[in-house]
Chain A
Amino acid sequence: MTKTVNQRAWLLVLPVFAVVAFSAVLPLMTVVNYSVQDTFGNNQFFWNGLGWFQELLDPSSQFGERFFDSLWRNLLFSAIILAIEVPLGIVVALSMPREGRSVAFCLVLMALPLLIPWNVVGTIWQVFARTDIGLLGAFLNRLGLDYNYAGNALAAWATIVVMDVWHWTSLVALLCYAGLKSIPDAYYQAARIDGATRWAVFRTIQLPKMRRVLLIAVLLRFMDSFMIYTEPFVLTGGGPGNATTFLSIDLVKLALGQFDLGRAAAMSLVYNLIILAVCWVFYTVMTNADAGARPSTAEGDPADHAASGSLPPATTIELDRRAA
């Protein structure tokens, strides 16, 4: 599908542009402003240049060490989450009943954790995992395990990971299920005639069809786990010690707890830039995947490529249908 060039389309986009600019660009300007200044209270600000950034990116300084600690912690967390949730989500999607009323039943139950406010998710797991009143905590202690998420770093990590798996695996599963639903029956019939094994069907039919939705799933899961705040905050408050202090928790502590505006602002900007970079990589991969088998110019500069070659997601539907 070719799109008509029409500069007046900007008028249609303008309201969105204005609102998002109001709630994204203006605050970011404040952050930039804070990040280059120092304050001693009384709303008096002094120019500090790039001082905060130098301190932030220098692992030998106290502040830098703290930042890199929570950064690695957060990356580790995201990696664990993706390693568990993506395969588990695929398995669950493959286990969905084919038809009948049980489909709607399973879907509703699966989607339920996604619509629970995040602090309530924390509360649910707090109530569930406490050793004095929680089913899980009491059960593990009865088994003779020394489990206490408030005192033991490993237990805290395990609880947060299980909580996140509980919370978000359904998203991956629902996305994959939608991908699977789009596979025409004829594919499976052809596979049966060819005598394909279950594994071969998965590798050659189901997995390629899920590639697109899996990309969306990985992107959403990475981003959301990289900015996780409320659930661990309610459950462990970042503790014990700093064991579960992820980037957002650290940032909020710094900005709203200690009102250390300069450092917090510098950290915000670096944090945001990391997100932006990762987002850009995913976006490029995604639009390239959309373009499908089109001869790719991926060898060139990615920015160059995206500007000149890649299609916006709009066109994918056409391509996908043709492929099907």
Chain B
Amino acid sequence: MRGRHVVMTLYLLFLMLPIYWLVNMSLKTNQEINTSMTLWPQAITFDNYIRIFTDPSWYGGYLNSLSYVAINTVLSIGLALPAAYAFSRYSFIGDKHLFFWLLSNRMAPPAVFALPFFNLYSAVGLFDTPWAVALAHCLFNVPLAVWILEGFMSGVPREIDETAAIDGYSFPRFFIRIFMPLIASGIGVAAFFCFMFSWVELLLARTLTSVDAKPIAATMTRTVSAAGMDWGLLAAAGVLTIVPGALVIWFVRNYIAKGFALGRV
């Protein structure tokens, strides 16, 4: 019993230590960072945060990131719901191959797609808009959402479908009024994963934007200047990118375990 606590404590300590160091740095002045090694800020300063919140090119990065993440999440879930239903209830020509093909896209390396995406979205005039990034992220988020939702839907007995049909529900009405509430936790989990993978991805987001839709992750490279690295500002920006994720986790904390098993335990 003691051993478990020791392992868990050590592991959590290992996880938190680098994050603590980042928070620590973000509250220091650059002078303190560069001249001394202090385990906590000697004179706490919020200047780094104030700069981010008052400079549009900084907080604009957060808004850009959040907007393509939101578009992507809505799009992925909306598209995946009917498809997941089809996969969980019907068999049709090519279903297994289609399912595998979809999954294989979740595994495809973004590096392969960076250049062709750049060409494609420039050609259709979406380059440097949140839509380009949102659509590009659909490449791996839609298959993932289909996979997760299919797992949850298959847990719902199909007698429910049949009963609803007998009761005179049309398919769309049944789907929205009866079926979706039944798999609400699955939708939540799928949305969580879409948020997560869209939020953490950088390569495609950076390649598909230049000025107007620049994600925060790309803005962060600005802290490298001729005068050297602005470590305090970089750390503050980093801390702020952790916040949305932490909030989302807090909301889904009771579903995390089942969610990470993609509804398939």
Contact = CB atoms under 8 A, between A and B. Distances in A.
A26 B3 CA distance: 54
A95 B7 CA distance: 7
B117 interface: yes
B34 A252 contact: no
A8 B200 CA distance: 37
Interface stretch (A55-63, A112-120, A185-193, A235-243): A112-120
A19 B245 contact: no
B99 A312 contact: yes
Interface size class, chain A = 35 or more
Contacts of B15: 109-110, 112-113, 166, 170
A123 B220 contact: yes
B91 A3 contact: yes
Interface of B: 3-5, 7-8, 11-12, 14-19, 21-22, 25, 33-34, 37, 39, 75, 79-80, 82-83, 85-93, 95-100, 102-105, 107-117, 119-120, 135-136, 138-139, 142-143, 146-147, 150-151, 154-155, 158, 196, 199-203, 207, 216-217, 220, 231, 234-235, 238, 241-242, 244-246, 248-250, 253-254, 256-258, 260-262, 264-265
B257 A174 contact: yes
A32 to B, nearest CB: 10
Interface of A: 1, 3-10, 12-13, 15-17, 19-20, 22-24, 26-28, 30-31, 91-92, 94-97, 104, 106-120, 123-125, 127-128, 132-136, 138, 166, 169-171, 174-175, 177-179, 181-182, 212-213, 216, 223, 226-227, 229-230, 247-249, 251-252, 255-256, 261, 264, 268, 271-272, 275-276, 279-280, 283, 306-307, 310, 312-318, 320
Contacts of B242: 112, 115-116, 120
Contact of B107 (A20, A26, A279): A279
Contacts of A212: 264-265
Contact of B115 (A112, A128, A256, A312): A256
Q: Ordered nearest first, which 9 A-B pairs have the shortest CB separation? A: A115-B245, A27-B116, A178-B261, A227-B109, A9-B90, A248-B111, A12-B86, A9-B86, A174-B260
